Amino acid sequence: MSILRSTLLLTLTNLAVRTGSYAFRIIMARMLTLYEFGILNLALPLQFLIVILSSAGIAPSIAKFVAEGKEKAVSSALFYFTLIALGFSVLTALLSPVIAVNIFHDRNVAIPLAIASLALPFAAAIAVLTGAMQGKKKMASFASSLLILQGGRIVFASILVLFFATAGYAVAGSVMGFAFALITAFWLFRGTEIKIIKPDFSSFKEVFNFSLPVSITSIAAFALAYLDILMLGAFLSPKEVGIYSVASPTSRLALAFSSAIYATILPRISGLRGDKTKIRKVVAYSTRISFVVLFITTVIFIIISKPIILLLFGSRYSQAVNPFRILLFGTFFFGMYTLNSGVFQGMGMPKIPMKILVVSAVLDLILNLALIPNYGIIGAAIASSTSMILAGLSSVLLLHRYMKE
């Protein structure tokens, strides 16, 4: 597939996935009380952490190795990453009562948090398999895996919440979606013609060493996306968390196109093997497209922000409108960061986007601590948006400097 065709396919897929995630929140917000919806959004970030860590850390690392012909790394990564995720799952489940009481000050968060941890090994395995599909440029299979995961989460969670309207059952449905997606991912993985062989630790170590800075970047990305929600849970009630949890993910719908270009451009840049002339052409073309789409999307979302929130979530979530508008400014710049990070990672320089995002995440932490106690959800939105703007501008300047050398 060409960059444009692959990008269009993945744009539609990412848009569908983000819309599905958005639909999940709409359905849960409508079916649960505001309090239970807040509890749900304190438990789900654990799943989102492993999803971000997997999709932005493990998957692109596997894609790079497969694109370079190192297919043996897939089996080793599948075994060891899943094993590590299983260990974290058990640890999180054991610590969930402590986290619920001492951080969120609400023991009702404990059970949903423990249930959420069950998804971790499933997500890690899915990331390895989809990374292999991405590296083999099997974008249709890659896209199908993402759609099935999101669709499964929505269907299973909706069924359970219909009968048991609590956050715990909503999270359980989400976990079932991950399990179902793993089964289908294995089936789609067969199309890559990569053989599953005996895992080799040295091969895994090579993948892990490359993925480490990318994974740290992913953790920083998680911090930018969910630190505000978690800190609101520490300072305010689950009801405020529920209101803000409408604004934050809605603003990230605008990132669908940039995420698609990221998934397409990373193996493409890796395949060019340092040919700066060709890399410049690919980057220039991708940047122009991304900028135009992001700008138009951001403007439209700002104009119709109030109708979106009120129509989809109802008047009880009207306080989410202003945080949503503030966050949109940040997501515009973060879309440019997303594209540029794929370029740096494809060129074998994952530490550059890692450093940018770590600095931005630290700024986000500081600003949230300073602003949330006095300004609540508005302060959280300002903190996150400012941090994302820093990430976007820094990535543009550093990539421009490198391309001029």
pLDDT tens column, 171-211: 999 999 999 999 999 898 887 778 788 888 888 888 888 87
Instruction: Please compute the mean of the pLDDT values over residues 305-328 and round it to a whole number.
Output: 89
Average pLDDT of the chain, as a whole number? 83
Residue 53 confidence class, pLDDT cut points 50, 70, 90: low
Residue 24, pLDDT score: 85
Confidence of residue 382 (pLDDT cuts 50, 70, 90): very high
Indicate if the pLDDT at residue 8 is higher than 70: no
The more confidently predicted of residues 180 and 279 is: 180
Which of 135, 269, 247 has its CA nearest to residue 194? Answer: 135
Quote the crossing angle between the two packed helices 45-53 and 201-235, to the nearest 10°. 150
> Nearest to residue 46, comparing CAs of 83, 75, 89, 12?
89
Q: How confident is the model at residue 158 (pLDDT cuts 50, 70, 90)?
A: very high
Q: Please list the helix, strand and coil fractions of the chain in percent, rounded to the nearest 5, in that order.
A: 90, 0, 10
Asked whether residue 97 carries a pLDDT value surpassing 90, the answer given is yes
Residue 306's CB: how many other CB atoms inside 10 A? 15
In this prediction, residues 385-402 reach a mean pLDDT of 88
The three-point CA angle 388-43-356 to 5° equals: 20
What is the C-alpha separation between 51 and 119, in angstroms, rounded?
9
pLDDT interval class at 216 (50, 70, 90): confident
Mean pLDDT of all residues in 56-79: 79
Give the list of residues 6+ apart from residue 78 with CB closer than 8 angstroms, or none: 125, 128, 129, 196, 199
Give the range among 44-58, 203-217, 331-345 with minimum mean pLDDT.
Answer: 44-58
Distance of CA 298 to the CA centre of its chain: 19
Mean pLDDT (whole number) for 45-56: 67
Region 388-402 average pLDDT: 87
DSSP labels, 85-116: HHHHHHHHHHHHHHHHHHTSS-GGGHHHHHHH
Residues 6+ apart with CB under 8 A from 63: 131, 132, 134, 135, 266, 267, 270
Q: Is the pLDDT of residue 17 over 90?
A: no
For the cut 80, the answer to whether the pLDDT of residue 390 exceeds it is: yes
Percentage of residues of the chain with pLDDT beyond 90: 26
